[in-house]
A and B are shown apart, each in its own frame.
Chain A
Amino acid sequence: MHVAHLSLQDFRSYATAEVALEPGVTAFVGPNGQGKTNLVEAVGYVASHGSHRAATDAPLVRQGAPRAIVRAGIVKDGRKALIELEINPGRANRARLNRSPVPRPREILGMLRSVLFAPEDLTLVKGDPGERRRFLDELLTARAPRFAGVRSDYERILKQRNALLKSAAAHRRSPGPEVLATLDVWDSHLARSGAELLAARLELVAALRPLVAQAYAALAPAGGAADLAYKSSLGDIGLSTDRGQLADQLLKGVADSRRQELERGVSLVGPHRDELVLSLGEMPARGYASHGESWSFALALRLAAFDLLRADGDDPVLILDDVFAELDAGRRSRLAERVAPAEQVLITAAVPADVPDELTGCSFSVADGQVVRD
């Protein structure tokens, strides 16, 4: 699939912007702070309903404007579709597909699929476990949009359960039978919804492992082997992907740590405490890998995500936001080789020299909020 047209209104620095795009490689070139990333961020937002740079929607709306609108005309299997998203910070966003409103924006998740590479990806390797969980969950949602619902249910259950644990912890005396009975109810809901998420993550990690190893070897042929392992907060008890069995294991895990949870007032067991362990050779990547190795690993994760989405069917749109400047010549050309066959590649770079020769295509100059085709 590819994006044929992008139209922005009050998005980030743009009052308005209209950009016609084509399949193949498109580079947005211009000095820093001119709005290159804002363009590709908008494409990413249409795909994932979130930004790779901001945790909330508020920064996406141009200062002083009440809302931002992003329109993307996409072409998928030769058919055209128009996706429109209205971003209302603090309120529900609204979405339209081919000019008709959809009840919930979630329903058009997955219409456009993209994989975005950005300097922020370094936190996938060096950052907190939460970054890696988010990577897995976002990929799950991109592959099967119903996981947006599973995730939000799980998060809601977690919030309710934590509120209950916190209020029980605040009372300081032993919790009454009503609190414990209510906790039992939230435990069972957490186990059921958590098992769904956990099973899907385990399946995803199994699918990603060979792809990550392969991508890392291609990018950094001299390095050790890259590997992934899913480390559950349930401990080393051997997890299958059978949902019923996982739910039972979660229920037991929650029951075993109840005393501790009541003391600390927070849920200690479940997919929200799990970790995706990245390793290089025999060593964990986090804390041991060099800057360059960490970068290669982050890129390998994104490339593996791209391979996986690609294997599901339609090519996702590849977005490379300011990545090449950080890479040495060897890795730069190896990455370029890997991404060149994609149906559409969008690149941002500060200077034309940062765009590898392998990736030739059309280019736009971005300066002062103006996007002009060269």
Chain B
Amino acid sequence: MYEGVVQNLIDELGRLPGVGPKSAQRIAFHLLAADPADVERLTKALKEVKDKVRFCRTCGNVAEEEECRICRDARRDPSVICVVEESKDVVAIEKTREFRGRYHVLGGAISPIEGVGPEDLRIRELMQRLADGTITELILATDPNLEGEATATYLARLVKPMGLTVTRLASGLPVGGDLEYADEVTLGRAFEGRRLLDV
């Protein structure tokens, strides 16, 4: 145990995801030794993120204004919505530069064990966005685990009467990988989702 404030800092850092006690200690001593201006910048960034960032009223993504950058961007295709669990999934998909539509961030996945039901996710907001008929395709990009699959099935059933095109991200073999190294679940999925080869 270190003296009061140092231990406080280590404890607080240790609460962060992915930071264990050893890393927390390392970061704390790094901060102690760092230039005060650097630490000042970090505290300012931390404070600003809590003060300024809020969630987009349309899609639920992190935003600095009422609406996020993507929802405000008029060049985005207004007819397609990609549904994801978390804001960080938006970043992941944006990096591909493949998707030109807009997003909807649910804020999690259906998981009764953790007490998360459909009413705890931003599903009502999604239904409101779908109500006016401009949206024609819904891409379900929840995580490919049991909870993500359950959430996708739930949404697909919910919007079925609306007659939209509902698609699910393909799951299967990683690009650049070797077939022999794929685990049997992934390989099985890839078989299920095989497609016709147009030549």
Which residue of chain B is the closest to A144 with respect to CB atoms? B184
Q: Which of A153, A160, A184 is most buried by chain B, counting CB atoms within 10 A of its CB?
A: A160
Q: Which residues of A contact B157 (CB under 8 A)?
A: 181, 184-185
Which residue of chain A is the closest to B152 with respect to CB atoms? A185
Of the candidates A163, A179, A181, A188, the one whose C-beta lies within 8 Å of that of B113 is A163
Contact across chains for A181 and B118 when beta carbons are under 8 A apart? yes
Contact across chains for A160 and B119 when beta carbons are under 8 A apart? no
In the complex, A160→B158 CA distance in Å?
Answer: 20
Contact across chains for B112 and A164 when beta carbons are under 8 A apart? yes
- Whether a CB of chain B sits under 8 angstroms from the CB of A189 is yes
Q: Which residues of A contact B183 (CB under 8 A)?
A: 103-104, 107, 149
- Whether a CB of chain A sits under 8 angstroms from the CB of B67 is no
Contact across chains for B146 and A188 when beta carbons are under 8 A apart? no
- Whether a CB of chain A sits under 8 angstroms from the CB of B111 is yes
Q: Which residues of A contact B150 (CB under 8 A)?
A: 160, 182, 185-186, 189
Encode A40-83 as 1/0 by CB contact (under 8 A) with B.
Answer: 00000000000000000000000000000000000000000000
- Whether a CB of chain B sits under 8 angstroms from the CB of A257 is no
In the complex, A186→B153 CA distance in Å?
Answer: 9
Which residue of chain B is the closest to A163 with respect to CB atoms? B112
Known: A146-B184, A153-B146. A189 touches B153 (CB 8 A): yes
- Whether a CB of chain B sits under 8 angstroms from the CB of A374 is no
- Whether a CB of chain A sits under 8 angstroms from the CB of B99 is no
In the complex, A153→B150 CA distance in Å?
Answer: 12
Which residue of chain A is the closest to B115 with respect to CB atoms? A167
- Whether a CB of chain A sits under 8 angstroms from the CB of B21 is no
Known: A160-B112, A167-B115. A149 touches B154 (CB 8 A): no
In the complex, A103→B157 CA distance in Å?
Answer: 35
Interface residue tally on B, bucketed by range: 20 to 34
- Whether a CB of chain A sits under 8 angstroms from the CB of B175 is no
- Whether a CB of chain A sits under 8 angstroms from the CB of B149 is yes
Q: Which residues of A from 315 to 348 have beta carbons under 8 Å from B?
A: none
**Nearest Cβ in chain A — how far from B117, in angstroms?**
6
**Nearest Cβ in chain B — how far from A143, in angstroms?**
13
Contact across chains for B112 and A185 when beta carbons are under 8 A apart? no
Interface residue tally on A, bucketed by range: 20 to 34
In the complex, A104→B182 CA distance in Å?
Answer: 12
Q: Which residues of A contact B153 (CB under 8 A)?
A: 185, 188-189
In the complex, A104→B186 CA distance in Å?
Answer: 14
Contact across chains for A160 and B184 when beta carbons are under 8 A apart? no
- Whether a CB of chain A sits under 8 angstroms from the CB of B28 is no
- Whether a CB of chain A sits under 8 angstroms from the CB of B185 is yes
Q: Which residues of B from 143 to 179 have beta carbons under 8 Å from A?
A: 146-147, 149-150, 153-154, 157-158
Contact across chains for A189 and B110 when beta carbons are under 8 A apart? no
Contact across chains for B112 and A181 when beta carbons are under 8 A apart? no
**Nearest Cβ in chain B — how far from A102, in angstroms?**
10
Encode A130-168 as 1/0 by CB contact (under 8 A) with B.
Answer: 000000000000000110010001001101110110010
- Whether a CB of chain B sits under 8 angstroms from the CB of A178 is yes
Which residue of chain A is the closest to B187 with respect to CB atoms? A146
Q: Which residues of A contact B147 (CB under 8 A)?
A: 160
Contact across chains for A156 and B146 when beta carbons are under 8 A apart? yes
In the complex, A163→B147 CA distance in Å?
Answer: 13
Q: Which residues of A from 161 to 202 have beta carbons under 8 Å from B?
A: 161, 163-164, 167, 178-179, 181-182, 184-186, 188-189
In the complex, A161→B157 CA distance in Å?
Answer: 18
Contact across chains for A157 and B146 when beta carbons are under 8 A apart? yes
Minimum-distance CB pairs A-B, first 5: A164-B112, A163-B112, A146-B184, A163-B113, A185-B153
Which A residues lie at the B interface, using CB under 8 A? Answer: 103-104, 107, 145-146, 149, 153, 156-157, 159-161, 163-164, 167, 178-179, 181-182, 184-186, 188-189
Apart from A160-B146, A178-B118, A184-B157: 20 A-B pairs, beta carbons within 8 A: A103-B183, A145-B184, A146-B184, A146-B188, A149-B183, A149-B185, A160-B112, A160-B113, A160-B147, A160-B150, A163-B112, A164-B112, A167-B112, A178-B117, A181-B118, A181-B154, A182-B110, A182-B118, A185-B153, A189-B153
| Residue contacts A-B, CB under 8 angstroms, 30 given | A103-B183, A104-B183, A107-B183, A145-B184, A149-B183, A149-B185, A156-B146, A157-B146, A159-B113, A160-B111, A160-B113, A160-B146, A160-B147, A161-B112, A163-B112, A164-B112, A164-B117, A167-B115, A178-B117, A178-B118, A178-B119, A179-B117, A182-B150, A184-B157, A185-B110, A185-B157, A186-B112, A186-B150, A189-B146, A189-B149
Which B residues lie at the A interface, using CB under 8 A? Answer: 110-113, 115, 117-119, 146-147, 149-150, 153-154, 157-158, 183-185, 188
